[in-house]
Amino acid sequence: MAPRRSSFLADFKAFINKGNVVDLAVAVVIAAAFGKVVEAVVSQVMTSLLEPALKAAQVDSINAWPAGAVIVALINFFVIAFVVFLIVKTIEATKRKEAAVAPPDTQAQLASAVTRLAEALDRKGL
């Protein structure tokens, strides 16, 4: 049984050491932290925008309605989706600005291409 156990442990170690597992674990931790940020923003939006509208409509609680929980879940979904959309748009705009600031160095690219071509020709013996 000892060889089988060490094989199992070796297989487990190989599985854990794969980059995808570690990357996935990091993504889950970051997503959990980001989820709390989104939840805080949504809570703020819900309290500042939705509650006054509900009070003006003289609605005490949507949850008391027959499909109230579904309506609340849908509202939360759309608010969360909108907040995430705004965050992604902001990040994309920042990346575009960074890309526009640093245009590619065409001379360096040309020199690199010439060097690679010369090396390829040398390997071929031409």
Give the model confidence (pLDDT) of 67-96 as tens digits. 888 887 887 788 778 878 888 899 999 888
Count other C-beta atoms under 10 Å from residue 125's C-beta: 5
Among all chains, which residue has been given the structure tokens 């923003």? 41
Length of the chain: 126
- Identify the band that residue 48 occupies on the pLDDT scale cut at 50, 70 and 90: confident
Assigned token pair, 57: 């409509």
d(CA 83, CA 16): 34
Classify residue 42 as exposed, middle or buried by CB count within 10 Å of its CB (0-12, 13-18, 19+): buried
Instruction: Quote the pTM value.
Output: 0.46
- Do the beta carbons of residue 39 and residue 46 sit within 8 Å? no
**pLDDT, mean over the chain:** 80
DSSP 59: -
For Cα atoms 86, 88, 93, give the angle at the middle one, nearest 5 degrees: 95
Q: What does the DSSP 8-state code read for residue 48?
A: I
Q: What is the pLDDT of residue 5?
A: 66
